[in-house]
Chain A
Amino acid sequence: MSLLEIDSLSLTIGDTQILKGMELSVAPGEVMGLVGESGSGKSMTALTAMRLLPHAARATGRVTFDGIDILAATEDQMCALRGDDIGMVFQEPMTALNPVKTIGEQVAEGIRWHTKVTRAAAEERARQMLDRVGLPQAKFPLSRYPHELSGGQRQRVVIAIACALKPKLLIADEPTTALDVVLQAQILGLLRDLVAESRMGLLLISHDLAVVTEMADRITILRRGEVMEAGDTARTLSEQLHPYTRQLAQASMHVPARARTHDTSQGKPLIQVEGVTRDYPGRRSSLLKRAAPIRAVDDVSLSMQPGQSVALVGRSGCGKSTLARMILALDRPSSGTIRFRGETITGKSEVELKPARRDMQVVFQDPYGSFDPRQKVEKLVAEPLHVLEKKPTRAERREMVAHALHEVGLDQRDMDKYPHEFSGGQRQRLSIARAIITRPKLVVADEPVSALDVSIRAQILDLFAELNQKLGIAYLFITHDLTVARAITDEVLVMHDGKIVERGKTTEVLDHPQSEAAQALVAAAPDLHRAIARKMQEQG
């Protein structure tokens, strides 16, 4: 018998249909993977099971947990289930914990509420639980506050809260999406162990096919509120019977076609970074003692050739974005120099920087946040024209914008629209159009595809590759995702704790990492090929 049984569930919020005839089941001890792109209704499925839906939501169908009709249960019954029999882990560890309560209080609270034990007993159990999730008492006493922990540590606390009473079912909604690959591997390992230990059912929700494949026994693929395909993980993904399943799997493994024409060893370097260091003032612990500064980038040197595509990879917080900003002259190094086309750009004023700015542009991660919503596309894409020697006339400007839009696969009529009229993928195309309008020599792209769904992401990677070929633009890709690096770059720089620890041809570094940091990254990176292979093996 299934632990959780969802039967022809339909859900509407206001006038919007979120789920249509949704079917899903989780057996005790089973890991069910729920996969889908953004907006497919994954999270709403989880919230329905917890009955924590927004007020305006209306659900029909049947949801039973352990024989209890969830949709018909009283609020008191639900309170008894939540936290005790069903635990839940959320996506965003930074905001999932109450900032004004200690982690001990937050873990012990559910224990006390459900078991009515004394505070001391509840705290003892909380301590054991935190110890179990890898936050030992000695280093992480119960009196710690959430803000004193890192993202990965906070996610461990959230897991401790969810698993404190050994629930029968654990629901994990994108538990690792906000974490870097190494942390992701750790958290997934922890979840796997906890589930195995107490024979919990796990409903793992993710957009990442590789993650789900590695973890799940069975898989349900969701698209726009409807189940496309469901079944045994290994079989479903190896056979790829449903066209959508195939589409997803292929996009996840997509590598753009690139002809390697740019020789990397000759000519003058486009960019030279020499012994660059960036310190931020540290927190003062007392009035008299000035804290040691935090060194974000530590004596980094590198150089890039024109037309070269280079990946800068590393875990979150390793200093790669700071380095990128300094290259873009948006931040000043504490020491060291950066030369662009042989000219020093460090310590220059905005006016002096103008020629350099013309030749280097940027593409950001968030396709939503990188456009001013108050301006039309024409103005937004034309913004870098500001640095041109001669200001183009309005007609010239429109012509240039139209051309740039055409190059990124958008219609020139789009220039009179506002950014919110575009989808995420289209916006990233706009972002690229803005970056290439001045015909720059260098584009710095900071995690340009990590916020995109897999199918869109494949298209954008293709676009990057195409432009690299056509316009000879050099790329500096900042990413923590090795598949991106593998897909589109010639060279990889691995950064760790502010230092560059490894550098080499992309395939060489990723296939045979030398440094510890690179090895950890490679080992942790989810890979659909490998995952399917492993699954097939397990099942024989």
Chain B
Amino acid sequence: MTLHIDIPEETLSGILAKAFRNTAFVTGFVITVLILVMAVISYLWTPYDVTKLIIADKTQGPSLAHWFGTDHFGRDILSMIMVGARNSIAVALVAVGIGMGVGVPLGAFAAARGGLVDEALMRVNDLVFAFPALLSAIMITAIFGPGAVNAIIAIGIFNIPVFARVARAGALAIWPREFILAARAAGKSSTQISIEHVLPNIATLLLVQGTIQFALGILAEAGLSYLGLGAQPPMPSWGRMLFDAQTRMVVAPWMAIFPGMAIVITVLGLNLLGDGIADILDPKSRRQR
């Protein structure tokens, strides 16, 4: 299987014009921005203090005072979702950063070198892929203890081979291009070529994969927190809120519904954004109207 990369030959304004005609992109973009804005606002203001427990107010249903109700410690769920967004975004984003930061150079290097280096790196990749990701994440948190930082590491490690693979496949599709040959004829080293020509041309591919991994990271963080292995109190996290909610589903279903929806909407937004970007930048996938 060979990857085919179409390099769009368009101006930025052309791409933007197209972007804002793409429903998936616009929807995804709006949702993602809203979530980000919510997370930023939470630094400055939340309806209630999420570190303050008011046991007397526990498990109140949605009302004007508490739009999404309160949790088992009387904390405002809306405020917790706002602050929790911070955690989810931070964990997923840093994990993507780790994956990209390590994976992309590895993949690009493997593609540039080829031969034994490539083979060895890909076998290591296979090795990591052979471990069920969640299981390994559980083991990692079992060793280092639960917490947001270890969740980031656990998720980030499994982003590495993903990005390495994507970067390698993308780079392998770029390397046979004539402009690479031209650069080689101009005496550029493979590292220089990787940086100057290969990476910019697979950037969109990585961007799309990045949004996918970002979304998966949010799901993974929620899963780990749900098992009690993610962010620890008093830092609210969406997965942890679901963990707390599951024993109170009958009396306080809002405790499960709203954080769950926050996850769904965020992941949906990111996936739509990724789809939109892929759609806009891949001329072959132009929708027929």
Contacts and interface: CB of A to CB of B under 8 A. Distances in A.
B187 A374 contact: no
A362 B179 contact: no
Interface stretch (B5-13, B20-28, B160-168): B5-13
A248 B7 CA distance: 32
A384 B186 contact: yes
B178 A369 contact: yes
Contacts of B186: 357, 361, 383-384, 386-387
Interface in A339-376: 350, 353-354, 357, 360-362, 364-366, 369-375
A360 B182 CA distance: 11
Nearest to A328: B185
Q: Give the interface size class of chain A.
A: 20 to 34
Contacts of A354: 187
Given A55-B288, A56-B289, A420 B201 contact: no
A297 B175 CA distance: 23
Contacts of B201: 372-374
A434 interface: yes
A284 B196 CA distance: 37
Nearest to B200: A374
Contacts of B11: 418
A434 B187 contact: no
B288 A357 contact: no
A373 B185 contact: no
A243 interface: no
A371 B182 CA distance: 8
Nearest to B184: A330
B248 interface: no
A121 to B, nearest CB: 37
A267 interface: no
A373 B177 CA distance: 12
A366 B8 CA distance: 16
Interface in B77-120: none
Interface string A120-146: 000000000000000000000000000
Interface string B142-168: 000000000000000000000000000
A54 B288 contact: yes
Q: Give the interface size class of chain B.
A: 20 to 34
B222 to A, nearest CB: 36
A330 B186 CA distance: 10
A351 to B, nearest CB: 9
B256 to A, nearest CB: 44
Nearest to A356: B187
Contacts of B187: 350, 353-354, 357, 384, 386-387
Contact of B188 (A55, A365, A380, A386): A386
Interface in B1-38: 7-11
A364 B288 CA distance: 34
A362 B244 CA distance: 66
B189 A366 contact: no
Nearest to B11: A418
Contacts of A55: 288
A419 interface: yes
Nearest to A368: B9
A414 to B, nearest CB: 15
B58 interface: no
B260 to A, nearest CB: 39
Nearest to B7: A373
Given A384-B186, A420-B9, A364 B200 contact: no
Contacts of B200: 372, 374-375
Interface of A: 14, 54-56, 328, 330, 350, 353-354, 357, 360-362, 364-366, 369-375, 380, 383-384, 386-387, 418-420, 434
The 8 closest A-B pairs by CB, nearest first: A420-B9, A370-B178, A387-B187, A357-B187, A374-B200, A384-B186, A364-B178, A369-B178
Interface of B: 7-11, 177-179, 181-189, 196-197, 200-201, 288-289
